[in-house]
Amino acid sequence: MKDKAFYACCFGVIFGIFLRSFIAIDIYALIFFALISISLLLFFSFISKRKLGIIFSIFLFAFCLGVFRFHIYDKINPDIFETKVGKEFSFSGLIIDEPSVAENNQKLIIETGLAPQGLALDSLKARPFPAKSRILVSTNFDESFKYGDEISFKGILEKPENFITDQGKEFDYVNYLKKDGIFYVMKYPKIDILSHSNGSFIKSILFSAKEKFLDKINFVIPEPESLLMGGLILGEKSSFGQELRQSFVNTGTIHIVALSGYNVTIVAEWFMKLFSFLPINFSIFAGILAILLFILMTGGSSTAIRAGVMATLALIARATGRNYDVARALILSGVVMLLFNPLLLVYDVSFQLSFLATIAVIFLTPKIEKYFFWVTERFGLRDVVSITFSAYIFVMPFILYKMGNLSLVALPTNVLVLPFIPFTMLLGFVTGFIGLISSILAIPLGYISYFFLHYELFIINLFSNIPFSSISISNFPLFITILIYIVFIYKIFGTDVKKLFTVLPE
Tens digit of each residue's pLDDT (9 = 90 or more) over 415-458: 788 778 777 887 888 888 888 888 888 888 889 999 999 999 99
How far, CA to CA in Å, does 254 sit from each of 131, 306, 392, 410? 39, 18, 12, 10
Cα–Cα distance measured from residue 319 to residue 232, given in angstroms and rounded to the nearest whole number: 24
Cβ contact 234:298 at 8 Å: yes
CATH number for the segment(s) 79-199: 2.40.50.140
| CB proximity list for 167: less than 8 A, separation 6 or greater | 403, 404, 405, 472, 473, 474
- DSSP designation for 158: B
Q: Whole-angstrom Cα distance, residue 222 to residue 324?
A: 46
Query: If you write DSSP's letter for every residue of 8-30 in order, what string do you get?
Result: HHHHHHHHHHHHHHHS---HHHH
State the pTM of this model. 0.76
pLDDT tens string, the chain, 506 residues long: the values are: 677 888 899 999 999 999 998 888 888 889 999 999 999 888 888 887 788 888 999 999 999 999 999 988 876 665 667 778 888 888 888 998 888 877 778 899 998 865 444 443 344 444 444 557 889 999 988 888 988 899 999 999 999 998 877 667 778 888 888 888 888 999 999 999 999 888 888 778 878 888 888 888 888 888 888 888 887 777 665 566 778 888 888 888 877 776 655 556 666 666 666 666 767 677 777 777 777 777 776 666 666 676 677 677 766 766 666 655 667 777 888 888 899 889 888 888 878 877 887 788 778 888 888 887 777 777 667 777 787 778 778 888 888 888 777 888 888 888 788 778 777 887 888 888 888 888 888 888 889 999 999 999 999 999 998 888 888 777 788 888 889 988 888 887 766 555 555 545 44
Using CA atoms, how far apart are residues 404 and 390, in angstroms rounded to an integer? 20
Q: Do 198 and 150 meet the contact criterion of CB atoms below 8 Å apart?
A: yes
pLDDT digits (tens, 9 = 90+) for 229-262: 887 777 665 566 778 888 888 888 877 776 655 5
Closest CA to 433 of 421, 423, 446, 448: 446
Domain residues of the chain, as ranges? Answer: 2-73, 79-199, 208-475
Residue 31, Cα to own-chain centre: how many angstroms? 33
pLDDT tens-digit map of 169-183: 778 888 888 888 888
